Structures are given as structure tokens and as C-alpha cells.
A and B are shown apart, each in its own frame.
Chain A
Amino acid sequence: MSRFIRTTMLMAAGPAVWALHFLIIYAFAALACARGFAHATPWVIGGTTAVAVTALIAIIVRALARARQGPLSGEPQRFPYWSACGFAALALLAIAWETLPVLLLQPCG
């Protein structure tokens, strides 16, 4: 059962990072405009994105490593690790696309 939990956590890690990143950038941007500290927004978003991207790369690396281990003892399936890698890669793409507007737009207005 704990292997199930570990594997599920790895598969869920990419989406979780995306969700947390999205929550932070949206909440911060909204609060900053509502309370008048919008000048901080690009920095906070940039920082959050840097952390998120790092985390996702780490997840991808780990998942790829587990996938390559292949049919060793206790790891008969590559598919969950391949999937974990795929979900994290999609999350990376989404984060990049969503964060681009910071470079193009004023935060509020």
C-alpha cells in the first residue's frame, strides 16, 4: 500500500506544483491590486515560478530515473513513472505559458 502512496504522490507531484503555483500567483496578484502593493507582483510571481520550475525539473528527473530502472525488484511497471514525467512536463508547459503575461502586462488596471 505504501508503494501505491509513493507512486501516486510522484504522479500527483507535477499537477500539485502547478496548482500551488497557480494559487499563489493568482492570489498574490489579486491581493496586490486590492491592497496597493502591485509593484511587488512581478517579483513574487517570478520567484514563485522559479521555485515551481525547479521543483518540476526535479520531479521529471526523478521520475525518469525510476522509469529507466525498469523491471527491477519491486518496480515491475514503468508506466506510472512515465506518466509522472508526462504530467510534470505538461505542468511545466502550462506554468511557462501562464507566467508569460507578467512580462507583457501591467498587473492591475
Chain B
Amino acid sequence: MKLPNSTPRPEGESERLKAAWQPPSGWRFITVVNNTYVGLFYIGAALLFFVLAGILALLMRIQLAVPENDFLDAGTYNQVFTMHGTVMMFLFAVPAVEAMAVYLLPNMLGARDLPFPRLSAYAFWAYFIGGLAFFCSLLFGVAPEGGWFMYPPLTSYRESPGINADFWLLGIGFIEISAIAGAIEIIVGILRTRAPGMTLDKLPLYAWAMLVFALMIVFAFPAVILGTALLEIERSFHWPFFQADAGGDPLLWQHLFWFFGHPEVYIIFLPAAGMVSMILPAMARTPFIGYRYVVLAVVGTGFLSFGLWVHHMFTVGLPRLSLAFFSAASMAVAVPSGIQVFAWIATLAAGKLEFKTPALFVLGFLFIFVLGGLTGVMVAVVPFDWQVHDTHFIVAHFHYVLIGGMVFPLFGAFYYWIPTASRKPLSERMGRWVFGLMFVGFNVAFFPLHITGLLGMPRRIYTYPAEMGWDWLNLLSTLGAFLLGLGVLLFLIDLARNFRPSKSGGSGSNVWNSGTLEWLPSGDYATRSIPVVTSRYPLWDQPRLADDVAAGRYYLPGAPTGGRETLVTSPLEARPQYVLQMPGPGWPPLLAALFTAAFFLLLTVKLVLVAAVCGVLALVMVIRWLWATDPGPNHPPVDVGAGLRLPVYVSGPSAHSWWAMIVLLLVALSIFGALVFTYLFLWTSSPGVWPRDGRNLPPPVFFWGAATLLAASSAAVAYAARSLRQQPERGAWPWRIALAIGVPLLAAASLWDLHGQWASGLRPTHSAYGASVYMILAVQAFYVIVAVIMALYTLARSFAGLIDEHRRATFDNTMLMWHYTVAQGLVGLILVHGFPRLLG
């Protein structure tokens, strides 16, 4: 194959590339946006939360080691187990796998960074600052205490009047933002910034897993976003979504939470499975056996996992047939997981395994995860679950699948990939001890819980009587827990002694002789040139690849625009399409994150005014950050090699920012879907509070008026979109005026609808019906506000001369949000005004 560029490269090209990617120095280093550094910060933060939550677990185990212990009182124990679960699930598990992706994915795909580097920085800092503050609630005795899944009515305003529950509800807020931001990056990154030639069937299995992970976040997180909003609003304003005496239903929370909560555990597991699929071929020195079946399995697990959530609710009294659907689906999901396990076994069998530490963790993972999967199929059987629900059997099951399925692969991944980040590898000798202690400790800690559970020991109890016969088993568990903790401690010591961050790819060489791109020689600029791949294992099949990439013989060996760039490629065949100009470091994302976290936390402690100020400052910082984006075609097309001259900017449906907007709107659609579910579910369970015979509904003029205003505002924006194309001939005023007209039309629609409901006498605190209606109005109002802000921002950019017929990503994003908001508004109107009338 003729290579895209020839050597010797021009004088200074490599220096300019290095300079463009140089991270900031001194204390300004924290404003770095390079994915490698942000990734390392992220992994470090996740590890910190893992250790903190692990210490909480040890505290719990001390308390449970002997019967009738008084190490922790009941109230403290409730806070400790709630925080253990919440921190592990929200501040460790999802962030850790996201962090690995931020660190690994671009290099594995042949890209120089993620497509929106400042967004990852923002997501990290919001998570880190917010997470630390959230954890500190424990030190002040105001940590949430309702269990990690926070069921109302226990967690509503009557039973939990303090701010503890608010900490959880608002504290989860920035985790949700981080997760969504990460998902957008990952989807756009995997689909649009791959190395040329990396067709879908050559996509690394880890990237497939992360693509599914990100799509799952898009569809699963919205349910918990809405649920937490509903519960917080019930607590603060007494809108009775979950209060049975007003037509609410505690089961609404359970459905929303578990619709998120079940996919959540696969969101945690699939990336780990992806990592195993990368580690195994290198350790077994053979290509992966069953690639296409694992792709099938990973995608299959992703969608089937959305049909399992009621298996967390088998004991609440749902109809028998309904339970059976979920029982069947819960068994069915074992099929794709099994396919993956068999593919891993086949790969192991086909190769010759090097029993180094990463391989040991993979073997440990296989053993523990499969055991957890088997108990999973057991509890999928409804009558069996009726016996073990809320006992330690369940605790054993989920720790087997989560620690086995995610923590073991993660530690294996640390030992495996650390040579890409550190001058010194971790110690192989200590690694064996870490593995041994963790493996033995884990099984000694958690296997007995199956038995204590079957002997009747409930979950979430702070102590137990001596005559139950659970004492020796609990003591054994505690011993195992400390062994596990010792293993983790040893790992931390190994890390402290050997981890020495190095920008030039650590020891520099591909120590495991792996075949995938993240092992190419790299620096702050990732690789010197962007490779072309022809197979799944480029480093095995293209023997001179590393040298040629480092010499600059592949695509984009320099920085032609003087800034940070990577290639945007087509989603199916990975054909180069344009050069993506990416921003460098800066304060706005970090400050925006700080103020975002402050906003949520200050609301929790009810300092509303200060919170509002921080919210405004966060918005200001975001706008400051955005103002530097959308550079337009500010440079002529560049020569990337192989005779290709690619534009440096593209707008319209091909642009990466359009794609990011579409993903964001899918999130919005999912939130709205959860809201529609809320309305219909409450109607199903409390028909008595729904209007009958169309009585007391706002007259139809409110529906028709609001709908017309909405449609008109969309028409105005559509007209503006067409006019913008004609800006050279007609100037900017036609489209500016059209967009400006859209603003009051959109706002008036919401106000008119609100007026109608208010005038009819309906109030959100009256009943679950009122609460649902006003929630639909409130969510719509939120989107209207966002759209209006976007429109005003767009107009400001136009006045600053920053928008024209070519440079229009800002306008397009506003347009997309606009049409979505209108469509959402119309569906909301039809539901609220039409559904009760349909019932007659």
C-alpha cells in the first residue's frame, strides 16, 4: 500500500504538532483538556471513591462481625450502607469505566482526542468536585440514609424531613450530567473519529462495548433523572407523585428507578467485558475467536437489559403474567452473556496464555462473574426470588456480578494498560499478591452471604441476634472483606511505588505485543500521524505500522491549522471527511463545573439565592466556553496526505456538533418518554383522581391556541434556517427577525397553556393528576427557557459577525433544539388535553 505521506517530513512540522498539543504548565495544568490527562485524573478520582466506599464497607463488616454489636448505631449504619452503595454505583463504577474510555478510546481508534475535549474536562470536574462534597455529607451526619435506591414514601418529606435525602437527589444531579456528557463524546467519537479503514467489522471489541454503553446511558439515565426530579419536587413543594393518599404511587418511583437501575448494571459490566476482550488476545497471543458473535452479544445484552427492570420488584404485587415476562427476559439475557463467556473460553483455548497479572485478573473475573450469573438465573425464577428478596443472598449475587464482572477486569486493565501511561510498569510480583488476596478475600467475604441469606438474614439490618445462627458466617465474611481490602491496599502501594506518568507512552514499547492501536508510540498529540488500518489487529498485520506512524508517513502528520486537529471519518467505512479543529486548555470548563456543582449542593442546603447566583455563573462560564467554538471555515482545506484536501469545517447533518445535538435530543426524548409514562402510570393506578367526562378541563381554546403558537414558532425558525442560506444576497436581518419572532411565540405557547390550567382551578399539590399535568408544563417550560437562551446566544453571535451561510453550526444546534421543543410541546398538549377527553 502506498502510504499517504512521504518522508522526510518538512522542517518544524513535528515541533508545531508538539506545540499545539502541549498541556499547560504550572498550576494552570488543571485546565488541561487532553484526554490522556483528563482520563488519568478521572481514573484517579474513581479509585479514590472506590477506596472511600470500600472503607465504608469495612465499617459495615466490622459492625456485622458479631451479633448485637454496637460499633455503629442504627442511624449511622443506615447512612453508611446508603453511601457505600451510592458511592460505589454512582461515583466509582460508572465514572471508572467512563474514565477508562476517556483515556483509552481515542488512541485505540486512531484519533488524537475525543471530539469535545472541554466537555470531558467539564464532566470530570463536575463529578469530582460534586462527588467529594457529596461524600462529605457523611462527615456532617447528613448523608442520605434511605438505601442506595431511596424508595419513597420513606424518602419523602413526611418520613425523611431532613436534608439527607436531598443530598442524594441533588447530589446525583451532576453525576447524571457527567454521564450524559461522556455518552455524547463516546458515541460521536466512535462513530466519527476512527482511523481510516476501520470499518465497523474492524472496530475493537472494547469500542463496540463502549458504543453500546453510551447508547444505554442515553436511554436509561433519563428515567432516574426524571425520577429524582419528581421526588425532589415532592419533597420541596409537596407535589404528590408518590403519596398514595393523593393518588400518587410509590411504585412509580420503583419503575422509574429500576428502568434506569437495571440497565445501569449492564452499563457497568459491558465496558469491563470489552476490556477483557482486548486483554485476552494479547495475553493469549491469538486473535479473538468469535468477534461477530461478541458484537451480537454486546448489542443483544444492551437492548435486552431494558426488559428486566421489574425483576427488582417481584414482591410488590404485580400481575402474575407481568412477572413472567420479566422472569423470561431475565433468563433470556443470560444467552448473550453466555455467548461472550464461550467466546472468551474459545480464545483462551486457541492461544497460549501468558499467566501474567492481567491474565490472572481475567481468569478471576471469569470464575466470579459466571458464579454471579448463575445466581442471577436463580433469582430470575419468581418463586425463588420471593424467598431470597431483600436477604443477603441478593447481596451475594450482585457483588459476585459487580466485583467479579467489573472490578476484576478493571484491575486487570490497570496492570495491562499502565505501560501506556507510566515510565515504570506495575510490579508483576506484587500483582500476583494483589490478585491472590483480592480473589481469596472476595470469595471468603461474599460466598457465605449466599448461605446467610438462605438462612433468612435480611439486608440493611445493623445487627442481628445471637441465636439466629448467622454469627460464624458473618465473622468469616468480615475476615474475607479485610483480606480483600488488604489486596486493594497492596495495589495502592504498588501504584505509589511504580506509577510515574510519562507522556511518551511509558516504557515506550508494546510490552505485551498487542495488536491494537493504543499501543502505537504516542505523546501528548497521541500519534504523530493517523494510521490506515486494514484488519482488527493492525500492529500484528501491518508490521511497519509503528515506524511509519511515528515517522509521519500516514495522515495528518502535522498541525496545518496550527491548532489541535484530528480526522473526522464516515461512520460505516471510516473514509476521511474533514479535519476536526479542537480547542486547547482553558478555565471556562473547570469554572463552569465548579459553579454547576455549587449550584446543586447549595440548593441541597437550601441556600437558594447563593445557589441561583452560582447557577447563573455556571451559565456565564458555559457561554464563555461556547463563544470560542464554531470557528467556521477559518482556514483553507488542508492536505492530509494521499492527495486528499479536506475542509477544516463542515456544517449540516454531517457535522460532529449536529450529531452531538441529536444524541442530546435522544436523551431529552427519553426524559419525556419517562414523563409520559409517569402520567399514564398514575392514571392506571389512580383513575379516581383523573378528570371524568372532560369536567374541569381547560376549554379547547387553550389547546388550539398553544398548539398554533408552537407550530408558528417552528415555522419561523424553519424560515430562518432557509434565509440563513441566503445571507450573502439578502443580509442577516431576515433570518434574525424570523428567529427573534420565534421566541415570543414559543414562550407564549407555554404561558397560554399554563394560564388555561391555572384558570381551571387545577393545582399541582391537589393530587397526582395535578402534579403530573404541571410537571409536563414545567418540563416544557425548562426546554423553552433553554431554547430561548440558545436563540439569544445565536443572535448575539450573528451581531458579532460570527454566523454566516457557511459558519452555521450554532444556528443549526438552536434549530434542532427548537423543533424538538415544539414537537415535545405538541405531544404534551395532546396528552394533557386529549387523553382525559378520550376517556369520556
Report A's interface with B, CB cutoff 8 A. Answer: 1, 3-4, 7, 15, 18-19, 22, 25-26, 29-31, 33-35, 38, 41, 76-77, 79-80, 82-83, 86-87, 90-91, 93-94, 97-98, 100-102, 104-109
B352 interface contact, C-beta 8 A: no
B292 touching A108, Cβ below 8 Å: no
Bound state CA distance, A4 and B300, in angstroms?
20
A41 touching B321, Cβ below 8 Å: yes
Bound state CA distance, A12 and B185, in angstroms?
21
Which residues of chain B have C-beta atoms less than 8 A from A107's C-beta? 319-321
B296 touching A79, Cβ below 8 Å: no
Can you list the 10 inter-chain pairs with the closest CB atoms, starting with the nearest? A101-B324, A79-B201, A15-B303, A33-B319, A86-B296, A98-B328, A90-B300, A108-B319, A107-B321, A94-B332
Given contacts A94-B304, A97-B332, contact A79 B199 (CB under 8 A): yes
B684 touching A1, Cβ below 8 Å: no
B307 touching A100, Cβ below 8 Å: no
Q: Beyond the given A86-B292, A101-B327, could you list 17 further A-B residue pairs with CB under 8 A, ordered by the A residue number?
A: A18-B304, A30-B318, A30-B319, A30-B322, A34-B684, A79-B200, A82-B292, A90-B296, A90-B300, A90-B336, A93-B332, A94-B307, A94-B332, A98-B307, A98-B332, A107-B321, A108-B319
B654 interface contact, C-beta 8 A: yes
Give the contacts of B284-332 with A (CB-CB under 8 A).
292-293, 295-296, 299-300, 303-304, 306-307, 318-322, 324-325, 327-329, 331-332
Bound state CA distance, A87 and B302, in angstroms?
11
B335 interface contact, C-beta 8 A: yes
Give the contacts of B560-610 with A (CB-CB under 8 A).
570-573
Bound state CA distance, A36 and B312, in angstroms?
25
Can you pick out 17 interface pairs between chain A and chain B where the beta carbons lie within 8 Å of each other? A1-B653, A22-B307, A26-B322, A30-B684, A33-B321, A77-B572, A79-B199, A79-B200, A79-B201, A82-B292, A90-B296, A90-B335, A98-B325, A101-B325, A104-B324, A108-B321, A109-B319
Bound state CA distance, A22 and B325, in angstroms?
8
Given contacts A19-B303, A77-B201, contact A109 B572 (CB under 8 A): no
Within 8 Å by CB of A97, from B299, B303, B331, B571, lies: B331
Bound state CA distance, A34 and B318, in angstroms?
10
Interface SS majority for chain A: helix
Which residues of chain B have C-beta atoms less than 8 A from A30's C-beta? 318-319, 322, 684
Which residues of chain A have C-beta atoms less than 8 A from B292's C-beta? 79, 82-83, 86
Bound state CA distance, A98 and B654, in angstroms?
40
Bound state CA distance, A104 and B684, in angstroms?
26
CB A74 to nearest CB in B, in angstroms, measures 11
CB B479 to nearest CB in A, in angstroms, measures 42
Q: Looking at chain B, what size class is its interface with the partner chain?
A: 35 or more
B322 touching A87, Cβ below 8 Å: no
Give the contacts of B210-263 with A (CB-CB under 8 A).
none
CB B192 to nearest CB in A, in angstroms, measures 10
CB A41 to nearest CB in B, in angstroms, measures 7
Which residues of chain A have C-beta atoms less than 8 A from B319's C-beta? 29-30, 33, 38, 107-109
Which residues of chain B have C-beta atoms less than 8 A from A109's C-beta? 319-320
Bound state CA distance, A83 and B300, in angstroms?
10
Which residues of chain A have C-beta atoms less than 8 A from B332's C-beta? 93-94, 97-98
A3 touching B328, Cβ below 8 Å: no
Which residues of chain B have C-beta atoms less than 8 A from A29's C-beta? 319, 321-322, 325
B296 touching A97, Cβ below 8 Å: no
Q: For B303, B307, B335, B571, which residue has the most chain A Cβ atoms within 10 angstroms?
A: B303
Which residues of chain A have C-beta atoms less than 8 A from B299's C-beta? 15, 83, 87
Which residues of chain A have C-beta atoms less than 8 A from B303's C-beta? 15, 18-19, 87, 91
B685 interface contact, C-beta 8 A: yes
Give the contacts of B636-674 with A (CB-CB under 8 A).
653-654
CB A28 to nearest CB in B, in angstroms, measures 10
Interface SS majority for chain B: helix
Which residues of chain A have C-beta atoms less than 8 A from B570's C-beta? 4
CB B497 to nearest CB in A, in angstroms, measures 45
Bound state CA distance, A19 and B216, in angstroms?
14
CB B255 to nearest CB in A, in angstroms, measures 10
Question: 1/0 per position for B674-701, CB-CB distance to A under 8 A?
Answer: 0000000000110000000000000000
Which residues of chain B have C-beta atoms less than 8 A from A104's C-beta? 324
CB B313 to nearest CB in A, in angstroms, measures 12
Question: 1/0 per position for B172-209, CB-CB distance to A under 8 A?
Answer: 00000000000000000000000000011100000000
Bound state CA distance, A83 and B569, in angstroms?
21
Bound state CA distance, A98 and B327, in angstroms?
8
Give the contacts of B416-470 with A (CB-CB under 8 A).
none
CB A77 to nearest CB in B, in angstroms, measures 6
CB B656 to nearest CB in A, in angstroms, measures 12
B571 touching A4, Cβ below 8 Å: yes
Which residues of chain B have C-beta atoms less than 8 A from A3's C-beta? 572
Given contacts A30-B322, A87-B299, A90-B300, contact A19 B306 (CB under 8 A): yes
CB B111 to nearest CB in A, in angstroms, measures 18
Which residues of chain B have C-beta atoms less than 8 A from A26's C-beta? 322, 325
Bound state CA distance, A76 and B573, in angstroms?
8
Q: For B319, B571, B572, B684, which residue has the most chain A Cβ atoms within 10 angstroms?
A: B319
Question: 1/0 per position for B528-572, CB-CB distance to A under 8 A?
Answer: 000000000000000000000000000000000000000000111
Bound state CA distance, A22 and B210, in angstroms?
25
Given contacts A7-B572, A90-B300, A97-B331, contact A1 B654 (CB under 8 A): yes
B684 touching A77, Cβ below 8 Å: no
CB B208 to nearest CB in A, in angstroms, measures 10
Which residues of chain A have C-beta atoms less than 8 A from B684's C-beta? 30-31, 34-35
CB A64 to nearest CB in B, in angstroms, measures 14
Which residues of chain A have C-beta atoms less than 8 A from B296's C-beta? 83, 86-87, 90
Nearest to A91 among chain B residues (CB) is: B303
Given contacts A79-B199, A86-B292, contact A102 B321 (CB under 8 A): yes
Bound state CA distance, A107 and B320, in angstroms?
6
Which residues of chain A have C-beta atoms less than 8 A from B571's C-beta? 4
Bound state CA distance, A80 and B199, in angstroms?
10
B324 touching A105, Cβ below 8 Å: yes
Bound state CA distance, A98 and B306, in angstroms?
13
